Structure 1
Amino acid sequence: MGENNTLGYNGDHVNDFDGKAFEDLYRRMYPTLKKYAIYLVKDVEEAQLILNDVFIAIWKNKVVMVNEKAYLFRSVKNGANNYHKTSRLNYQQIEEEEVQEIRDGKADPYQSYVHKDSARMLYDLIDQMPERRRLIFYMYRIEGFSYKEIATLLDISVRTVEDHLVKGFQFLQERVLRNKAEFR
């Protein structure tokens, strides 16, 4: 059924990008693509970021697809390949910086570990948010989109974006306060 659907086709003109078709595509394909991305990058957080990038690019560029499954799976695979390329290039640079910090005596290895562990726990908490709120949160905090850009991309009001972000921050604050000892 979905194999030969044309995203963006609203019945009249193929060139008219249809937001409802985009939302339907997102809901149908996200779970499968997430599993595929996790398989490729072996990291849930990175997989979600790759998927967000793919769907944002489709929305921004108003991509019209003839074979949506092939296009989406290829896009995720390309995103995973880019992730692996950049992670290999950055690995040496990051490793050298950490070694330099330890040599300087300024950074305590235990503190570096605790900081990384806290960040991992924070991302786990973000992943517990409802799907739409999590997407908006990532777009704002990680990707750096403005409220207005997010509202335009997701076809929602700026007020709705604000509401999702406020509730997201409240959610994180409640969880962090409940588990204060783990975040020290």
Structure 2
Amino acid sequence: MGSKITAASEGHAHDLDLKTFEELYRRMFPTLKRYAIYLVGDVEDAQLLLNDVFIAIWKKRLLIIDEKPYLFRAVKNASLNYHKRIKSPFLDLDDELVPELADQNPDPAQYYQEKDRNKMLYQLIGQMPERRRLIFYMYRIDGLSYKEIGALLDISVRTVEDHLSKGFQFLKERIMKNEAEFR
């Protein structure tokens, strides 16, 4: 299930026009941004990385047939290059990405307790194998269906189910083991 792209030549009927490009950008940017933040660990770097991906598509006038798989792979490849440049391992989600609950919890102690719990939860998710962690985030954060995840990663729906089941089991075991910290 490979991604299909065509490099458009000048005046060719399949050229990527500005309207098509803008629509693609507007439609895919929010999801790709969350994915890039997950991979890079920094909001600003993720945006720069995404801009580079879209600039490359525009410069080459690429008309992408299977958009989601192609774009997710392009962002993943760009993030791998990013990590090679800075020579650091994949970063865990930082405090900026932990949901802020200040408005819901006027008690500062409760707010920080919730923040610590969320941070511990993200750290536990970060301990999952890379593929399982990616599938977990795509399902829980991006809200993608099993079928969409399977299509994007070129795996079966059953494999997606298996990864999610094992991911939830992993979290349940770790949370039960450290129950006092999650109260």
Q: Name the TM-score, length of structure 2 as normaliser.
A: 0.51
1:83-110 Cα shifts (integer Å, max 9, x gaps): xxxx7xxxxxx7xx83x66xxxx63211
CA distance in 1 between counterparts of 2:129 and 2:155 reads: 16
CA distance in 2 between counterparts of 1:138 and 1:117 reads: 19
Letter in 2 for 1:159: R
Letter in 1 for 2:70: K
CA distance in 1 between counterparts of 2:162 and 2:78 reads: 33
* Sequence identity percentage: 52
| Match runs of 1:140-179 below 5 Å | 140-179=139-178
Deviation at 1:133, TM superposition (A): 0.2
Deviation at 1:69, TM superposition (A): 6.0
CA distance in 2 between counterparts of 1:134 and 1:166 reads: 12
Secondary structure of the structure 2 residue equivalent to 1:125 = helix
CA distance in 1 between counterparts of 2:153 and 2:69 reads: 13
Letter in 1 for 2:167: G
Letter in 1 for 2:170: F
Deviation at 1:166, TM superposition (A): 0.2
CA distance in 2 between counterparts of 1:143 and 1:61 reads: 15
Give the structure 2 partner of residue 125 of structure 1.
Answer: 124
| Match runs of 1:45-60 below 5 Å | 50=46, 60=68
CA distance in 2 between counterparts of 1:14 and 1:181 reads: 52
Deviation at 1:37, TM superposition (A): 3.5
In structure 1, runs of 5+ residues without a counterpart are 1-7, 17-32, 74-86, 88-93
CA distance in 1 between counterparts of 2:182 and 2:143 reads: 24
CA distance in 1 between counterparts of 2:150 and 2:124 reads: 24
From 63, 70, 76, the equivalent of 1:62 is 70
Structure with greater helix percent: 1
CA distance in 2 between counterparts of 1:148 and 1:154 reads: 10
Secondary structure of the structure 1 residue equivalent to 2:152 = helix
Structure 1 173/107 Cα, relative in aligned 2: closer, same or farther at 3 Å? same
Give the structure 2 partner of residue 137 of structure 1.
Answer: 136
Letter in 2 for 1:177: M
1:42-92 Cα shifts (integer Å, max 9, x gaps): xxxx69xx49x96xx996163598xx769x65xxxxxxxxxxxxx7xxxxx
Structure 1 69/125 Cα, relative in aligned 2: closer, same or farther at 3 Å? closer
CA distance in 1 between counterparts of 2:162 and 2:127 reads: 17
Give the structure 1 partner of residue 15 of structure 2.
Answer: none
